[in-house]
Amino acid sequence: MNGGPALVSILRQGSNLIASVHTALDDSQLVRFEHDLVEQIGEHRSQGVIIDVAALDVIDSFAALTLRRIAEMARLSGARTVIVGIPPDVAFTMARLGMGTAEVPTALDLEEGLRLLAEHATGSHPTHSPSGAEPDW
């Protein structure tokens, strides 16, 4: 992003984009990540987006909001977003904070996330997701 080791990598795999966060991000870095990712979704006409947040030290209200916003913008561009890799302690904190990822589906890890996207791509109207959530896409 701005010199030094990449904070985030965005890789294209077929019709999906896989964005991995590599370190703790501050607010402006999150915003830049949001812009970069949304831009690439449009550029590659992606159908699915996976955001791997395992390396984020915390997901506070701003990070949660940014993730939701990315998913919403991706949805408007015709892509589905799955957030993967939320560590248990971060999940615990998010629940205590009283926030979540709203209707953005989540999966345990990258593999699960890809499966979720693939399932959706084959079955046009999935009635359930592996996590038991009720995605309303």
Partner 1 sequence: MVRRIVHARVGAHPSADDLVQETLTRVLAASATIEPGMLEPYAIVTARNVVASMWRDADRKRRNQHRVLDLSTPDAPETQIVQGEEQSAMATALARLSERERRTLLDHEVAGTDTRTLAEREGSSAGAVAAQLNRTRARLRVEYLLALEQVQPPTERCRPVLIALSSGDQRRQREVHAAQHLLECDPCARLSRPLLERGQQRDDTLRIPVTGDPDIVAARVAARELAARLRFGTSDLTLIATAVSEVCRNIVRFAGSGEVVVELLETPRRGIRVVARDGGPGIPDVERALDDGFSTYGGLGLGLPGARRLMDEFAIVSEAGHGTTVTMTKWERTNDG
d(CA 53, CA 46): 19
Nearer to partner 1, 98 or 123 (CB): 98
Q: Which two tokens stand for residue 2?
A: 């701005």
Residue 25: φ, ψ to 5°: -120, 140
Residues that contact partner 1, how many (by CB under 8 A): 24
d(CA 65, CA 105): 14
Pattern of binders to partner 1 over 50-79, x per CB under 8 A? -------xxxxxx-xx--------------
d(CA 111, CA 18): 11
The verdict on 25 binding partner 1 (CB under 8 A) reads: yes
Pattern of binders to partner 1 over 26-55, x per CB under 8 A? xxxx--------------------------
Binding residues vs partner 1 (CB under 8 A): 24-29, 57-62, 64-65, 87-90, 92-93, 96-99
